[in-house]
Amino acid sequence: MPEMPTLGSPEKKQPPVAQVAIIAAVVGTVSGFAWWVTHRPPDAAPAEPTAAATPPRAAEAPAPPPAELAPTGAPAPIAAAPAPASAPPAPALAPLAVKKDKSGLKAFTATIAGPLETAVVAQVGRDVGGPLTQVVTRSLVWWFKVPGDLLKGDTLTAVYEERDGQEPMVHAVRFTSRKFGKTFEAFRFQAKGDAHARFIQLDGTTLEEQLVDPPIDDYEQITSLLRDGRRHKGVDFKAPVGTPVRATFDGVIARKNWNFRGNGNSLEIEESGGQGRTALFLHLSEIPRSVQPGDKVKRGQVLAKSGNTGRSFAPHLHYQLMKGATVVDPFESHKTRRDTLPPADRADFDAQVAKLKALMPAETIAGN
C-alpha cells in the first residue's frame, strides 16, 4: 500500500538549473541592499522603524480616558479639543437639572424617551441614577406596570436624599402618565405612633397595599415585588432581625432548612383545605427546635423570627407563594387592604406635602 502524504511534506527537488537561478537572485538582492545601506544619504530614515530601532521619546502627558457615552435620550457631549501636555485633566460633568434645598433634599424631573433608568441617569448622574431608579420603581408599581405602561413623553419627578453606604431615600414621587391621562403622587410621611414612615397619597390612603394576613406585622418597607420587573420570585419585607414571622394560612410544615447556603434558615408550609398553595419563608434568624416537618400550623401563628441568613445582603423576610410549580403573586392571591391616614395627622401631612412640593416644578398636564 502506498504511503499517505502528510501535511508539510517537502516538495519535489528542483532541477539543477532552477536551483542556480534561485541562488543567484537571492545573492543579488542581498548585495543590492548592502550597497544601498552604505551609500544612502545621511538624513534618510526607514519608513517604518521597528520598536527596537525607535529612539526614546520625550515624556508625554497620559492620554485622557475615553468619554462616557451619553445615555439614550440625552444629547451627545461635544468633543473637547485635545489639551496640551501640561493641562490638568478635565473635571467630570456635573449632574443635570438637580434642585437642592438647605436640608440636603434633592429633586429632579425626567421625561421618558426610552428606559426609565436612562431618563433618571440623564438627570442625576450614573452613580446615583441606577439605585435611585430601583427605589422609585417600588412606588410606581403600585399604580401601573413598569415598564409595560410607560410611554414616551411621560414625566417623572422625585424628591430624594442621598445616604452614605445606603440606597437613596425617596421622599416624594410624581408621575404624569399619558396612557392613563392623569398624574399620580405620593409623599413619605410618618404618622404619630407608627414605627415607620409610609408613602401616603393625596387622598390620605397608603400607597402600598397591605396583606390582610401578612407573614410579618412590623416591617419598614417592601423592597421587592413580583411586579417590579426584577424577576424576583417573592416579596421582600425589610425588617429588623428578630421580627416575628407568622403563618399566612392553615397548613402543614413540609420542609425545614433546605439549601441553607442560598435560603438560610427556611420553612415551607403546604396549605390545608384543598387550595393547593405553598408558602416559603426564607432568610430566617431563628426557628424553634419544636417546629418540625409534619407539624400542623394555624393562620397567624408565630413560626420563627426574620433574619439575614443565607444569600441575603440586608435583614429582611423573603415570602414566596407557589401553586404547584407556578409562582403566585401574594398581592393577587391573598386579601389586601389600604389604610387611611388618621384625621389627627392630616395637618402635619399637608405641611409635609407643601414642603416637598416646594422643591418640585409645577405639575405637568397629562397628555400634553
Q: Do domains 95-208+338-368 and 211-337 have the same CATH topology?
A: no
**Helix, strand, or coil here: 292?**
coil
Question: pLDDT tens, 69-111?
Answer: 333 333 333 333 444 444 444 444 444 568 888 888 999 999 9
> If DSSP states are collapsed to H, E and C, what string results for 15-64?
CHHHHHHHHHHHHHHHHHHHHHHHHCCCCCCCCCCCCCCCCCCCCCCCCC
Strand partners, 31: none
Q: Which three cell numbers stand for residue 179?
A: 396612557
Q: What is the DSSP string of 242-282?
A: T-EEE-SSSEEEEEES-SHHHH-EEEEEEESSS--EEEEEE
pTM over 0.95: no
Percent of the chain at pLDDT exceeding 70:
72
CATH code of 95-208+338-368, in short, is 3.10.450.350
Average pLDDT, whole number, for the chain? 80
- More confident site: 355 or 19: 355
Question: pLDDT tens, 233-278?
Answer: 999 999 999 999 999 999 999 999 999 999 999 999 999 987 799 9
- More confident site: 42 or 241: 241
Q: Which three cell numbers stand for residue 277?
A: 398553595
Write down the pLDDT at residue 235.
94
Domain at 211-337, CATH from 3.10.20.30, 3.10.180.10, 2.70.70.10, 3.40.50.1370: 2.70.70.10
Q: How far apart are CA 248 and CA 293, in angstroms?
A: 17
Q: How far apart are CA 57 and CA 246, in angstroms?
A: 73
What is the residue extent of each domain of the chain? 95-208+338-368, 211-337
Write down the pLDDT at residue 9.
38
Question: pLDDT tens, 7-32?
Answer: 333 444 444 544 544 455 544 554 55
Write down the pLDDT at residue 348.
97
